[in-house]
């Protein structure tokens, strides 16, 4: 076992080094692929033993996934928070004029609002919901962020149709013991993309009534992912938004009830 572990670790490090030098993928996906490659090299039967279905892949939240999201969050948000904190200290230490302070804050908001939106669209999940809440709170959220996050109300990018169909197909087969084609005559356009899933227009087969229906497909393991993301965002609030604690608690209670 010790020898196998050494082989796996050596292969793992070599894979990270070679992959990091040649790939343009994010370091997080590169690391995951390196781990998988190292395991396959140390145990050739790994790929045949562990060949999960599409639904199992989408539903799986490994023990390192929350860590990856935590690191990814702070890698992107940390420099922004530091810039705001540094500016605040600079104002106090040098007693900067109020008009200059206002212009400086406005410049920071203009700079970081679009970048924050792109980061939200990248992480998705809970952060889309938080962006939606912020876009509706112009009473205390800077207008630059309100304007940027406003598109999250109705223009969140949806999952690929084929990906969603496969999840529905496996869910029907595993839980109801029926085939996708038996239930749906048509499975069409996306009607909406809430933060915990998305809604599709569909038509049932005559066997199931033949009606036009709206099918809400929840993102696999969304509850677990949301709980982990709440921990990440709570760490952000302690540093940057201490006044958000009551809002965050209310939002968490509301979001968790949507999974029932």
Contact 198, 192 (CB under 8 A): yes
Token pair 């050494």 is at which residue?
A: 6
What pLDDT, on the 0 to 100 scale, is given for residue 241? 87
What pLDDT, on the 0 to 100 scale, is given for residue 28? 52
58 falls in which pLDDT band (50, 70, 90)?
low
92 falls in which pLDDT band (50, 70, 90)?
very high
Residue 252 has pLDDT above 60, yes or no: yes
Q: What would the mean pLDDT of 148-166 be, rounded to a whole number?
A: 88
Tokens of 219: 């993102």
Q: Is the dihedral of CA 49, 53, 57, 59 positive or negative?
A: negative
- What is the three-class DSSP state of 69? helix
Q: Give the C-alpha separation, 91 to 144, whole Å.
A: 21
Name the residue among 216, 213, 224, 114 with its Cα closest to residue 158.
216
69-90 pLDDT, tens digit per residue, is 999 999 999 999 999 999 999 9
Residue 247 has pLDDT above 50, yes or no: yes
27-54 pLDDT, tens digit per residue, is 555 665 665 566 556 554 444 344 455 5
Helix (H) or strand (E) holding 96: none
93 falls in which pLDDT band (50, 70, 90)?
very high
More confident of the two residues 114 and 49? 114
- Mean pLDDT, rounded, of the chain: 81
Query: Which range, 15-19, 153-157, 174-178, 188-192, has the best average confidence (pLDDT)?
Result: 174-178
Residue 65 has pLDDT above 60, yes or no: yes
> How many other CB atoms are there within 10 angstroms of residue 157's CB atom?
11
Contact 249, 256 (CB under 8 A): no
What pLDDT, on the 0 to 100 scale, is given for residue 43? 53
What pLDDT, on the 0 to 100 scale, is given for residue 22? 41
Q: Give the C-alpha separation, 65 to 58, whole Å.
A: 12
What pLDDT, on the 0 to 100 scale, is given for residue 35? 57
13-27, 104-118, 156-170: least confidently modelled range: 13-27
Phi, psi of 30 (to 5 degrees): -65, -40
Q: Give the C-alpha separation, 191 to 103, whole Å.
A: 41
What pLDDT, on the 0 to 100 scale, is given for residue 109? 98
Q: Give the C-alpha separation, 142 to 106, whole Å.
A: 9
Q: What would the mean pLDDT of 174-199 be, rounded to a whole number?
A: 90
Residue 173 has pLDDT above 50, yes or no: yes
């Amino acid at each position: 076992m010790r020898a196998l572990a050494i082989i796996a670790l050596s292969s793992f490090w070599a894979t990270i080094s070679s992959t990091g030098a040649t790939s343009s993928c994010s370091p997080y996906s590169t690391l995951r692929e390196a781990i998988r490659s190292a395991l396959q090299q140390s145990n050739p039967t790994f790929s045949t033993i562990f060949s999960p279905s599409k639904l199992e892949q989408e539903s799986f939240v490994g023990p390192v996934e929350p860590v990856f999201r935590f690191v990814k969050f702070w890698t992107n948000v940390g420099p922004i928070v530091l810039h705001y904190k540094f500016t605040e200290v600079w104002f106090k230490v040098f007693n900067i004029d109020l008009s200059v302070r206002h212009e400086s804050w406005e410049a920071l908001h203009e700079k970081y609002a679009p970048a924050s939106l792109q980061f939200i669209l990248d992480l998705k999940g809970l952060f889309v919901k938080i962006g939606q809440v912020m876009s509706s709170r112009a009473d205390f959220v800077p207008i630059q962020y309100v304007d940027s996050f406003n598109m999250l109300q109705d223009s969140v990018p949806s999952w690929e149709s084929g990906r969603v169909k496969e999840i529905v197909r496996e869910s029907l087969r595993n839980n109801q013991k029926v085939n996708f084609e038996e239930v749906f005559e048509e499975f069409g356009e996306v009607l909406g993309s809430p933060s915990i899933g998305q809604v599709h227009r569909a038509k049932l087969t005559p066997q199931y009534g033949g009606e036009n229906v709206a099918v809400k497909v929840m993102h696999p393991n969304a509850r677990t992912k949301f709980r982990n993301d709440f921990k990440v965002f709570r760490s952000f609030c302690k540093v940057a938004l201490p006044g958000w604690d009551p809002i965050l608690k209310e939002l968490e209670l509301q979001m968790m009830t949507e999974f029932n």
